A and B are shown apart, each in its own frame.
Chain A
Amino acid sequence: MDPEARKVIEMGYGGAERLTMNMGPQHPSAHGVFRAILTLQGETVVGMDAVIGYLHRCHEKLGETLTYTQYPSIASKTDYVAAMSSELAYVRAAELLGKIEVPKRAQYLRVLVGELQRIASHCVWLGTWCMDMGGALGGGATVFLYCIREREMVLDLFEALVGARLLYGFHQVGGTRYDLPAGWVQTCRETVDFIDRRIGEWEDMLEDNDFFLARARGVGVISRELAQEIGISGPLIRASGVNYDIRRAEPYSSYEDFDFKVPVETAGDCYARYRVRMVEFRESSKIVRQVLDGLPAGPISSRPGVKSVGQVRIPKGEAYARVEGPRGEVGCYLVADGSAKPYRMKWRGASFSNLAVLPHIIPGHKVADVVAIMGSVDPVFGEVDR
């Protein structure tokens, strides 16, 4: 054998019957561009190094060079699976800083799109997670296609509302940019009812499936202590027994007006995370219905529409705004210097903080569990690397 080949192989084995294996950044289950350097002993993972940064696009620097009018549509691109929540985090920070009132109708609209976005995002999560466990050439792909079919319906709603399907630019400082078109409310009600029924179908399909349970139960347990120490948020921390939801803990955008349940599970494994998200699906559609029922009339923005890019000026100061995105706490920290652009901005991506838990829980699991656990954490690498 080629001496070079021999060297490569011996390096990989590390001389101690251990195999170092790179999973990603080019890997079907990397959820984008995640690189996990796994140390394997047989099939068991004994060590994991997470390498991120392959999707870095200088979002925070961009935030300094774009005005308060321009940036919301760029903010969509941090977490592109849940664009509405990152937009909201940015405009809320600007509003807090500038003490800008938001009309009630705009607040309700923000809740509406935020919850629809949660449904769409959880659809993507369920589909990709099942694909991680079941493969693109197996049962996982079936679930994936079902979920994507339902997500399309939500995207159709967004398209009717904004004109875009993935990255919206729906929010603006002081309110929203668009109002509901005619007939939209009716379509939205039908869609939400329909998806509610479909969620029941998915649950039947998965929860009676022993293979699915075997892969999800007891895998990737995050203890309550670890969850709080790492600072994970969203469905992850709720699956570990911590009742923490920013919509409840620190209501924003009139969330206090709505009646919804915050699901909490105590097991902390993949199955608990799955359960939490499945309940969230239903709670989101409940909130959507309440918004549609109680949508007040009135202006959709306290500021005039866009006339020039530099029209919003925020007084000097700093503010941190956070919202509950589908993946957890999405925070935006702004330092303003009185001009039309922030002096400094910083994102707190939910996926970034959630991802930090992986090296703590993955060792000891099998290779197949690595992708299952990663899928259950639901990282979006646009948000991790920004």
Chain B
Amino acid sequence: MKPAVLWRGGSLVALVAVAAAVPLLNNPLVTNVGVFVLMYVGSAVAWNIFSGFTGYISLGAAVFFGTGVYTTALLTEHLKLNGGAVFATYPLGGLAAAVIAVPFGLIALRVRRHTFVVVTIAFFFIFQLMAYDFSWTGGTLGILGPIVNWDPNTFYNPFYYTALIVAVGSAVLAWAIWGSRFGLQLRAIRDDEDRARGLGVKTMRVKLTAFVISAFPMGILGGLYFFLQGQALPEYAFNPFYDLTLALMSFLGGFGTLSGPIFGALLLEPYLGYAQYQVTNAYVAEVVLGALFLAVIIFLPRGILPTVGEKFTSWRVAWVRRSAGAQAAPAEPAGASPAADAVKTGAAGSGAPGGGSQR
């Protein structure tokens, strides 16, 4: 147990160190993609704190992100902020998102499962339409951000480090919650909400707290996104793709695990960023994304990390047994029908690239 913890902690520290060193490459394109990757790491981890731990799949996360975007945008516009001062408004964006999460959660968390998903989608659309239709949001034209003339080579660095801090902060928060009494209550709700309530978990309060906590980092990142893009537009602030991508990242890496969303975001966002640059093939990229999604769901239904971990363990057990001299190996494939065999090899073949790169 101890070495595993050490190994995990060490690899995490190494990951953060590598991430912190990326801007030193002095390549603005890499840093720019890096900002988005970290933004999605932070968002996916925050999303997972509520949805992953409780099993309530929320497709309304963009409400919090968009609230952050517009809070920072409006503050910047009305207080005429510029440069570094804009960064000071990010926590307020997070706070606004957390405040919005209270009524949102009080209504949406009354229902479960499918209905919850639908209610979050409804909330999402209400917010997007409000951003389009209110006069103080600038409507379809949105709000323009301040123009800064920083050195283009290091332009993205402040954004990068802010996003890194938020991402690491969310991950630490998720880790702290995971092992705590609060985290256990969340996971009890995920396993059986009625029984959890029977055992004395104040389910509504616990769920709402997690919902509000998960909103905060997304609001901060929304503010960051506004300054980075220099513009708040309703279709990008409240973007259905954001909700979907967070869910996909978490499921890809491992839904409801600690490292799953981080891994999923690190894997997926560079691809999405790349696809965005290839505008001519954006639709093909979309189809590939969908196909990838389906492949993950069917072949790695619990996400890459847990499945690969399991495979690795069972493979190691088999290897240990074989080297111990037991002759159980040849008995395995005999019983299966040819059709099942074909399916199996097919599945293994398609699954292999993902598994291989993982190891």
Q: Do A and B bind each other?
A: no
Contacts from A to B (Cβ < 8 Å)? none
By a beta-carbon cutoff of 8 Å, the part of chain B in contact with chain A is none
